[in-house]
Structure 1
Amino acid sequence: MGAAHTQATPPAPSGAHGLGGADPARDARCRRCGHAWRRPSDYPETSATLVDDTPGPAGPAMPLETQDALYVALELVIAALAVAGNVLVCAAVGASSALQTPTNYFLVSLAAADVAVGLFAIPFAITISLGFCTDFHSCLFLACFVLVLTQSSIFSLLAVAVDRYLAIRVPLRYKSLVTGSRARGIIALLWVLAFGIGLTPFLGWNSKDKATSNCTGSGDGSVNKSCCPVKCLFENVVPMSYMVYFNFFGCVLPPLLIMMVIYIKIFMVACRQLQRMELMDHSRTTLQREIHAAKSLAMIVGIFALCWLPVHAINCVTLFHPALAKEKPKWLMNVAILLSHANSVVNPIVYAYRNRDFRYTFHRIISSYVLCQSDTKGGSGQAGAQSALSLGL
């Protein structure tokens, strides 16, 4: 014990993670960003020693290198499954004329957004999680692209809910009101709106001044030429006020609440119609199929909400309780992001599980184009597929 007390203790390094030389001014500037100053060219030995040292009762949980590797691996798996499953959905609708209904056009729009999540949003998310140095607007685009796809998915789900409500509420006028050409026009409009909403931070609602302030001097306004322009992390470029007030409270939560009300009304109207009169067998079967379709689509909306609400909950905590937000470990945000991206994998599974005609078309496509087996059954679908598929699910 005595020897331990007499041993000389080296001075503690000054970096935010206990790394780097003694440069208080630079460290102070980097701490204002809430992230460690990290340049591989300056500190090549640090990659194996960084840990998640976010203050908290549990202390460091896992080396950041291990967290990042696990996060990237899971993201790549999700991306592959999202692309494969949703390309299959698009191919199924394209291959079967019976599946080419207005409802399924909206589902194809949803699938297209999920394919883009796998091809672009997840690689962008992986890139932005590494905190590399880049210019502000490039980083902002990477951060905003996933917002465009999320908004497009919400709009597609809302369009499907309205479509199903019209099919139940005005069944005799439904086919004249909701046509394929109108559905395609609505989809195009919804994508334009999604891009406008997702790219709103480019109009000025961003953190450019805060993100680039670490490259200015202590008070004289001089620029540190050796400084990283922007450490590309989501919270460095997109303000939480935008994510909470505009994105969540304005563009995500209201459509989800509207969809919940619509599906409640669908079930109420359907139950009243079943109880009010003695329907013919054909009419009763049709209505029961509508109810089954509504249940499937409501399930998709519910899964979407469960997958995305954790991210928005963390954003709300970050905005309204910044002291508490500082204690959140990096792995918690990674799990929330993975859950939101995993939503893109779920929908094809729901279609296959809940609808035999989608399941049949999936099987036919996989057998013909993946397993290279001939389609012995022939035809474009099972008997009675047209009547069932006209309901969407």
Structure 2
Amino acid sequence: MVLGGGFIYISLEVLIAVGCCLGNVLVMWAVWRSGALNQTTFCLIVSLAMADFLVGAVAVPLAVVVDVHVMIPFHACLFFSCVLIVPLQASVLTLLAIAVDRYLRVCIPFRYKTTVTKKRSWIIAALCWILASILGFLPMFGWYNHDTLTHYNSTSIDCEFIAVIPTSYLVHFIYQGCFLPPLAVMITLYCYIFFKIRRQSRGRAGVAAETGAYTQKEHKLASSLALVLALFVVCWLPIHLIQAITYYNQNIHVPSIVLYFGILLSHANSMVNPVVYAFKIPKIKQEYRKIWRKVIGRQQQADINTTASNTTESCDVHVRISPQVGVDDII
């Protein structure tokens, strides 16, 4: 990468990493403060926020390390590259679990609370992470670029993601096997959810206001989570398409700026989700406001205390520099 372009890329990655960490910590804090962790959907939202947080705290720094081409042992480079894949897999699986959760909420509303409990939701979230780790670390068990070791003829290599992770793994397994099928299932589920909610709304036109409010609430939450899914696809699809195009037609040269734009866009997805939660999910939005008011209130109180302290010191100084003035003169 050109020196100037490299500096811009790394600077943007640092900004994205900071945004991912701060935004998703705020999401987890807001969910915990609101008591929404007792609801199964928010357990999965916290799991997704954790995946987004790890993108900023772990994946982006490792991506920058890999990008500067440091000389490290082959298997250390392979391990770092595998770590970059795990948050993606965790996000896909968690989004799929959220879609299934919303599907069950709409299709079996009366049995939902007994079927999808808080304990089961955390178990599902844990299984998503375990499966994501297995899928992400598959290259460590032999599915890596053996030619790289032969080329360098040494234990240390110029570390680069594509040098250790084969494109066949990224295209056939990650993109075609672990990205597109879950995406098709999620789109189908959300289409059915919206169809079901719309049909319920029409069928309950003259029913009690509570039922209409419940349907509207479910529709808003489903819309918010569908938006999260849509942004995930928009941010991750370009880099997958770039990898697929270069794999199936090696004569096509993709400019470096396009490749790095795709990488930045995929990482930026983890920074965007907290903004969506802030505007679209009422419980998280309310907690954001409470946290903001609390921070502003403390700042205002600190300013008041500072002003009062300065005023007191000013009065003390005035009395000290006028020792000849009597009590009657001061009054």
Tell me which interval the TM-score lies in, with the shorter structure as reference length: 0.7 to 0.9
Who is 1:287 aligned against?
215
Shift of 1:370: 7.6
**1:329-370: CA deviations, max 9, x gaps?**
222111000000000011110111113331120122244358
Q: SS of the counterpart of 1:323?
A: coil
Who is 2:271 aligned against?
345
Aligned mates of 2:296, 2:80 — CA distance in 1 = 33
Who is 1:213 aligned against?
150
Q: How does 1:216-255 map to 2 (within 5 A)?
A: 216=153, 229-255=156-182
1:93–1:100 CA contact under 8 A, matched in 2:
no
Q: Which amino acid aligns with 2:171?
A: V
Normalising by the residue count of structure 2, what TM-score does the alignment of the two structures yield? 0.87
**1:262-282: CA deviations, max 9, x gaps?**
000001111111223433211
Who is 2:135 aligned against?
197
Shift of 1:130: 1.1
Structure 1 alignment gaps of length 5 or more:
1-51, 53-63, 217-226, 376-393
**1:3-32: CA deviations, max 9, x gaps?**
xxxxxxxxxxxxxxxxxxxxxxxxxxxxxx
Q: Establish whether residue 329 from structure 1 lines up as the match of residue 266 from structure 2.
A: no
Aligned mates of 1:116, 1:332 — CA distance in 2 = 24
Q: How does 1:155-174 map to 2 (within 5 A)?
A: 155-174=93-112
Aligned mates of 1:373, 1:168 — CA distance in 2 = 44
Shift of 1:100: 3.4
Shift of 1:201: 0.5
Q: Establish whether residue 313 from structure 1 lines up as the match of residue 241 from structure 2.
A: yes
Q: Establish whether residue 75 from structure 1 lines up as the match of residue 13 from structure 2.
A: yes
Q: Which amino acid aligns with 2:128?
A: L
The structure-2 alpha-carbon separation of the partners of 1:90 and 1:66, relative to structure 1 and needing over 3 Å to count, comes to same
1:148–1:197 CA contact under 8 A, matched in 2:
yes
Q: Which amino acid aligns with 2:118?
A: G
Q: SS of the counterpart of 1:205?
A: coil
Q: How does 1:358-377 map to 2 (within 5 A)?
A: 358-368=284-294, 372=298
Q: Establish whether residue 301 from structure 1 lines up as the match of residue 239 from structure 2.
A: no
Structure 2 alignment gaps of length 5 or more:
302-331
Q: CA RMSD in A?
A: 1.8
**1:174-225: CA deviations, max 9, x gaps?**
1111111111111111110000000010111100x21122234xxxxxxxxx
Aligned mates of 2:219, 2:95 — CA distance in 1 = 17
Q: SS of the counterpart of 2:179?
A: helix
Q: How does 1:268-279 map to 2 (within 5 A)?
A: 268-277=195-204, 278-279=206-207
Answer with 366-375 or 184-193: which moved more.
366-375
**1:36-60: CA deviations, max 9, x gaps?**
xxxxxxxxxxxxxxxx6xxxxxxxx
Q: How does 1:20-169 map to 2 (within 5 A)?
A: 64-98=2-36, 100-169=38-107
Q: SS of the counterpart of 2:81?
A: helix
Normalising by the residue count of structure 1, what TM-score does the alignment of the two structures yield? 0.73
2:246–2:254 CA contact under 8 A, matched in 1:
no
Who is 2:309 aligned against?
none
Hey, which of these two has a bigger chunk of helix by percent? 2
2:34–2:284 CA contact under 8 A, matched in 1:
no
Shift of 1:373: 5.5
Aligned mates of 1:131, 1:329 — CA distance in 2 = 19
Shift of 1:131: 1.4
Q: SS of the counterpart of 1:230?
A: strand
Q: SS of the counterpart of 2:177?
A: helix
Q: Establish whether residue 267 from structure 1 lines up as the match of residue 205 from structure 2.
A: no
Shift of 1:233: 0.8
Q: SS of the counterpart of 1:171?
A: coil
Size of the alignment, in residue pairs?
300
Q: Which amino acid aligns with 1:350?
A: V
**1:272-326: CA deviations, max 9, x gaps?**
11223433211111011111111111000000000000110011012101111xx
1:94–1:100 CA contact under 8 A, matched in 2:
no
Aligned mates of 2:33, 2:287 — CA distance in 1 = 8
Aligned mates of 1:173, 1:105 — CA distance in 2 = 19
Shift of 1:371: 6.4
Aligned mates of 1:283, 1:163 — CA distance in 2 = 20
Identity of aligned residues (%): 38
Aligned mates of 2:42, 2:109 — CA distance in 1 = 17
1:168–1:269 CA contact under 8 A, matched in 2:
yes
Who is 1:258 aligned against?
185
Shift of 1:95: 1.3
